Structure 1
Amino acid sequence: MREGRLRPADLAREHGLSTQAVRKYEQAGILPRAARGPQGYRRYSSAHAQALRTFVALRPGYGRRAAEILRAVNSGSEDTAVRLIDQGHAELARDRETLDEVALALSELRPMPDEQPTPPTIGKLAHRLDLHPATLRKWENAGILRPQRDSATGYRHYGPEAVRDAHLAHQLRRGGYLLDQIAAVVARVRDAGGVAPLEEALRTWRSALQQRSRAMLDGSGELARYLELGASVER
């Protein structure tokens, strides 16, 4: 890397950062090590500016991986950096699949009538879903179902919300989701107050994934420009 001509303040100004933050990023390996002038002051180059530009662009899409990606590049391990990029895209793809499966499962739930007949017992609900009662007990232990208990007999009874949660869990389970993942989805439904309010949350979720996808593209573009500079680190 040729001797730099930029000061820490020059790098910081572009992103609204402090010079202390720039020095911190250098110490963390996010920026290549800076050359020192005759009086010991740091002297940065266009490669350092691009490294910081790349880090800032990568963070919205790759989160904590952004720092790992830059450290890998700066240590000469481009293969590791590319693998981290691939992992981020694979994670985004899984999130999209999860969102699509949850949206599909919710769309297939039948609306609950205003007046419900006598809440089914565990045996009746299991029969309705073509499951073994032990499966419903397992879902209860996982926090997915919250049946009511008869005060006299202690038998389980499943009200409208519990029946809805059981149908949702059944559909997600058939989609291959783990119990802890299903419990998280059911918790979202409960917090939203039902399926209909959750539709807005799903739209927000989808928008966030879209923004993350775009951020990944932007970050990858800056990374490509940084790699073209042939950045290196003093070892």
Structure 2
Amino acid sequence: MRPVDLARQHGLSAQAIRNYDDAGVFPPTERSEAGYRRYTPLHAQALRTFLALRGGHGHRPATEIMHATNRGDTESAYRLVDATHAALLAERDTRIEVATALDALATATSTPVRGRPLTVGELARRLRVHPATLRTWESHGILRPDRDRATGYREYGPECVRDAEIARQLRRGGYPLTQVARFVDSLRTADGAAASTAFLDAWQDRLTTRSRALLAGAAQLDTYLTMLERARQT
């Protein structure tokens, strides 16, 4: 097959196929006497595998998996695959922690808030973050601490502490500060419970979609590994 033949099967350009080849996504490619690249069913499966892996792992990890596979280093390829699964599992755990924190928030807002305010240092130690992180969150509107009238120092009351704890969990889940700010702000409004449910549902849907993409990538990789083993035996 020519690059254009392989490209048409996946709605890609011939240049994209050449770029993937140069990037090491394909196994070694033979050329015709005129210098044109010649692709086989093995290269077609390599492309299917890469595109499927990219859906779950992302472009760079998928490329690294293909590099390791093509050079026969399956141990490294498996480790790369396992790393993505481990990260996804960690994100699932983070979502559960966030859901628990939001449930606690819903319960706490229905009862009087008590407890002395924390200083920036105390809150930073509580969350195990740097004080500068709290100031960054404040600049994005995530935290709204009061100020001591006498000293001017920041004071983080119970509501502010809860916002900070939620922000920490969301940041652990990989959410950008702008999205964390929008979410925390929505929880301060009357529709906070609805916003919380919608947010958690959307997060779960994203995790499910990625899990299915990882399964699809694993299936294509297994087929590719089988074809490589057969090719190397002939």
With normalisation by structure 1, the TM-score equals: 0.75
SS of structure 2 residue aligned to 1:31:
coil
The correspondence for 2:116, drawn from 124, 146, 153, is 124
Aligned CA-pair RMSD: 3.4
From the CA coordinates, give the structure whose radius of gyration is larger. Answer: 1
Deviations 1:142-175 (A, max 9, x none): 31653111445536555xxx522413656998xx
Counterpart for residue 5 of structure 2: 10
- State the Cα distance separating 1:205 from its structure 2 match: 1.1
The correspondence for 2:98, drawn from 102, 118, 121, is 102
Counterpart for residue 89 of structure 2: 93
Change in 2 beyond 3 A, CA 1:229/1:183: closer
CA distance in 1: counterparts of 2:103 and 2:96, whole angstroms: 10
**Aligned AA (2:14):** T
- State the Cα distance separating 1:124 from its structure 2 match: 1.7
Change in 2 beyond 3 A, CA 1:188/1:25: closer
The correspondence for 1:135, drawn from 97, 122, 126, is 122
**Aligned AA (1:142):** T
Counterpart for residue 65 of structure 1: 61
Query: Are the equivalent residues in 2 in contact too, given 1:61–1:213 (CA < 8 A)?
Result: yes
Unaligned 5+ segments in structure 1 are 1-5, 127-131
Deviations 1:62-117 (A, max 9, x none): 01210100011111111111110110100100010001111111112225369x78
CA distance in 1: counterparts of 2:75 and 2:173, whole angstroms: 35
Unaligned 5+ segments in structure 2 are 138-142
Higher normalized helix content (fraction of residues): 2
With normalisation by structure 2, the TM-score equals: 0.76
The correspondence for 1:37, drawn from 32, 55, 58, is 32
Percent pairwise identity: 42
